[in-house]
Chains A and B, each alone.
Chain A
Amino acid sequence: MATITINQQTYEVPDGITVLQAARQLGIFIPTLCDHPHLTPYGGCRLCMVEIEGFRTLQAACTIPVSNNMVIHTENEKIKKAREFALSLIFSERNHFCPYCQVSGGDCELQNAAYRVGMTHWPLQPNWQPFPVDASHPYIILEHNRCILCRRCIRACNELVGVNTLGVANRGARTFVIADFGVPLGESTCVSCGMCVQVCPTGAMIDRKSAYQGKKSEAEHVETICTGCSLGCGLDVLITDNRILSIYGNWDAPVNQGVLCKVGRYYPLDDDRPRITQPLVRKNGELQPTTWEEALSVAASALKRHSANSLTLASARLTAEALYLFRKVFAEGLHSPLVTTLNGHAMRPLTETLHDLGEPFEGRVTDLNDATSILIVQADLASNHEVLGFMVRRSLNRGVRIVIADSRENPLAALAEVSLVFKEGRQLAVVEGLMAAVARLGLSQTEYTEDAIANLANAAKTTGLATDDFLKAAYQITRGEKPVIIYDPAAINDVVAIKALVRLAKMTGATLISPKGEANSLVAAQFNLIEPMRPGTYEVAFVALGDEIPSETLVAALERTPFLIVQASRESKLTARADVVLPVYTWAEESGHYLNLEGRLQEAHPCLTAPGQAKSNEVALRKLAEALEVSAEGDWRTVLTQRVAPVTIAV
């Protein structure tokens, strides 16, 4: 601990923190602009200047560490003048006329800072250098004229996302934020995660979908969970007039700590499929609005009549509560021959591995934060579970070595120290080769009695790789204390290979992490809703689609089903061809639970009020149970936890 004096008061603060961090902990306000609590200090804006006794000049509180017996003043005439001067310089650099800026009036940290010092005018007028506006990106407009060069966007792009698209060109007054080597943002390596917009203090980074739609500072905030994939990132949803203004990453969420990808941040705002607001029943060949009672009774009589020939499907993005009822109604109540989730079979390799091993074998996502090396096996972290990919990317800043083993071109291959591109279908041989290589290096933490040299040679031959590749990979994986292995069980699709990976993890002391597919795929697996679609002649099909877009495969598979019941939020090819449509909530209206890929049970909270007669998926299924006269009683939590899972479930 260090003893410091701030404004004549003496405090004890931890060693190694900055003066700004100390002041914040003590509740003493110091104005800042370039500083962001989740980014490394930069010391660029000079707004946080404080006087420290014994120092010749004022010091930036954000970068200077506390030391014992430091005497600090955060407010006096000299400091006030310095801060005002810093602000005048910032205002003079570019176009900071407030009346035509979309963040004016509460959302602009620069304007707020000026108000705080009582700035009624600019002592220096702008220099009128026009800067371009980059509107090439589908979600983000880069308005250079509003930029104060605080570099928060650049730091977020590097430190939080690890993508490093943003940087600066030139020096002094010509300094300029650029994408890659000066290409338009829309043509750059940008992954559209929008973290730059989330941290921008001014109107320089404009979110197309929410600009001029309302003040963020006046919006209502709801903390909920993204249902885009099984990572379950925490969202901070900003709402005005029952409309989503924008979606931010929740800085306090344990899974993503503020970071989001485009699926969580922008896709929901892009969704303009028409809503279904009332129950529909097909009469005389046309879908006609009706009451819930009639729709349910028509659906129930068809389901009862053909229960032995029924096909029932649910989206794995429904809440645990809804999936439980779905199983209860159709598997236990109606004894439907096929009760499963869409793409549920993707969970089978993992579930079968678990069946053989009998105990949890995967770890926590947070282990990535202090991983010493990362092995990625057949996992594409750019097309889904992108935030997991960001965690991998940003670990490069800590010097973490990445090894990739993939039969396809892996999107993160360019970042890998060693990339093992192996022959299609040779997953097992690759893992066996890695095990043999770890043993060959004498670094296995568990017993390895096989002939490592022979196994290594074998693996090389089978996979089309060199033994040296395996040894290099094994060396990088075992270099530190805490390796992490990220693998995609569905892509590996080989129980023996997955079991070999579990053994490799034991040999190297690694944590295993795997994407599970949809937001509640793990729940679907726990509820045994992972049967593959079987072709057959079904008389009736029920699809609890939620707000999902039905795949072409699904639409084709159900094309000839004589009677189709769809429970959905939005119009689609499937609802167009349905005989009964039950209107339900979207993710933003639902409340309920999600179990993420590491077994963390999280609760989604409703952000919006649903239109018309839409009901929650859970209530719709409960009503259907009543109409079918089957039981909907039971506790989903008990069923969820009574079976062992590949991860430790934290309820």
Chain B
Amino acid sequence: MSKPKVATDWLAGCAGCHMSFLDIDERIVDLVDLVDLRSSPITDLKEPDPSGVDVGILEGGINNTANEEVAHRMRKRCKILVALGDCAVFGGVPAMRNFFKIEDVLRRAYIETESTDAEGKIPDDPELAKPTRVRAVSEVVPVDVYIPGCPPSAEIIYYALSELAQGRIPVLKDERLQWH
């Protein structure tokens, strides 16, 4: 049996989940024995193979039209989609902005912040992605495996990936189930 192909990407998150992934340290060598790590923000390849991968992993929630596109592409190209971390699973910290109107959030970020000099400007280039309400990945595309945690510990990520590599769906419970 050939090694399962894995692709990852990050959306509206802080990259912390990928950092936690790197925290598995030397076991990454074991993991590379088990899986074929394809595209990822931490590898040179940035997009999952058009021919498809076995496991797609998304960190972060979906907070604009660009994230929507990345999520749809990943879903289309992977067999098992994993939501990694609280932002992907629940919306997480970025979702705090959902309690406000998007206009108010943009004004606060680009005009009212203490570090903004002159009068500030809300970016409006048509090339830019359009901000939306922050959503969990599962609100946009179907998710097969949820790994909550802010971030999930390296231990949990290693467990989940090694289960997936061996063709099993990881079951997170007891001390492996953490939302914080």
Contacts and interface: CB of A to CB of B under 8 A. Distances in A.
Interface of A: 95, 97-100, 104-105, 111, 114-115, 118-122, 125-126, 128-130, 145
Contacts of B161: none
B89 A121 contact: yes
Nearest to B137: A121
Nearest to B173: A118
Contact of A130 (B100, B138, B174, B180): B100
Given A120-B177, A125-B91, A99 B172 contact: no
B95 interface: yes
Contact of B96 (A97, A111, A125): A97
Given A121-B138, A125-B136, A97 B93 contact: yes
A146 to B, nearest CB: 13
Contacts of A100: 93, 96
Contacts of B86: 97-99
A120 B148 contact: yes
Contacts of B180: 98-99, 104-105, 111
Given A118-B172, A120-B146, A120-B177, A97 B99 contact: no
A127 B177 CA distance: 24
A467 to B, nearest CB: 64
B91 A97 contact: yes
Contacts of A120: 89, 146-148, 172, 177
Nearest to B174: A115
Name, among A111, A119, A125, the residue most crowded by chain B CB atoms within 10 Å (CB to CB). A125
A145 B139 CA distance: 22
Interface in B113-154: 133, 135-136, 138-139, 143, 146-148, 150
Contacts of A118: 171-173, 177
B98 interface: yes
Question: 10 nearest interchain CB pairs?
Answer: A99-B150, A120-B146, A130-B99, A104-B180, A98-B179, A121-B146, A128-B98, A105-B180, A118-B173, A98-B180
A95 B99 contact: yes
Contacts of A119: 177
Nearest to B147: A120
A122 B100 contact: no
A100 B139 CA distance: 22
Interface of B: 83, 86, 89-93, 95-96, 98-100, 133, 135-136, 138-139, 143, 146-148, 150, 171-174, 177-180
A95 B95 CA distance: 10
14 contacts: A97-B96, A98-B150, A99-B92, A99-B93, A100-B93, A115-B179, A118-B172, A118-B177, A119-B177, A121-B146, A121-B148, A125-B90, A125-B136, A125-B139
Nearest to A115: B177
Contacts of B135: 125
A126 B97 CA distance: 13
A125 B91 CA distance: 9
Nearest to B88: A121
B133 to A, nearest CB: 8
Nearest to B100: A130
Nearest to A120: B146
Contacts of A99: 86, 92-93, 150, 179-180
A95 B148 CA distance: 16
B140 to A, nearest CB: 11
Contacts of B83: 121
Contact of A104 (B95, B133, B179): B179
Given A99-B179, A105-B178, A125-B136, 11 more contacts: A97-B86, A97-B92, A99-B93, A100-B93, A111-B180, A118-B173, A118-B177, A121-B83, A121-B138, A122-B136, A145-B99
Nearest to A131: B99
B13 to A, nearest CB: 12
A111 B91 contact: no
Nearest to A122: B90
Contacts of A130: 99-100
Contacts of B171: 118
Nearest to A103: B180
A504 B100 CA distance: 65
A211 to B, nearest CB: 15
Contacts of A105: 178, 180
Interface centre among B96, B139, B150, B179 (most CB of A within 10 A): B179
Contacts of B174: 115
B145 to A, nearest CB: 8
A126 B98 CA distance: 10
- The interface centre, meaning the residue of A104, A105, A118, A121 with most chain B CB atoms within 10 A of its CB, is A121
A105 B149 CA distance: 11
A121 B136 CA distance: 10
B11 to A, nearest CB: 16
Nearest to B95: A97
Contacts of A114: 179
A128 B99 contact: yes
A98 B150 CA distance: 9
A405 B179 CA distance: 57
Nearest to A119: B177
A116 to B, nearest CB: 9
Contacts of A121: 83, 89-90, 136, 138, 143, 146, 148
A565 to B, nearest CB: 53
A143 to B, nearest CB: 13
A99 B88 CA distance: 13
Contacts of A111: 179-180
Nearest to A100: B93
Contacts of A126: 91, 95, 98
A378 B173 CA distance: 60
A29 B158 CA distance: 32
A119 to B, nearest CB: 8
A125 B98 CA distance: 12
Contacts of A145: 99
Contacts of B146: 120-121
Contacts of B139: 125
Nearest to B143: A121
Contacts of A97: 86, 90-93, 95-96
A559 B98 CA distance: 63
A123 to B, nearest CB: 9
Contacts of B96: 95, 97, 100
A326 to B, nearest CB: 51
B91 to A, nearest CB: 7
A112 to B, nearest CB: 11
A111 B180 CA distance: 10
A145 B90 CA distance: 16
A607 to B, nearest CB: 28
A529 to B, nearest CB: 53
B43 to A, nearest CB: 27
A129 B180 CA distance: 22
A263 to B, nearest CB: 34
A122 B86 CA distance: 11
Contacts of B91: 97, 125-126
A440 to B, nearest CB: 66
Contacts of B93: 97, 99-100
A121 B89 CA distance: 6
A111 B179 CA distance: 8
A611 to B, nearest CB: 33
B72 to A, nearest CB: 19
B4 to A, nearest CB: 21
Contacts of B148: 120-121
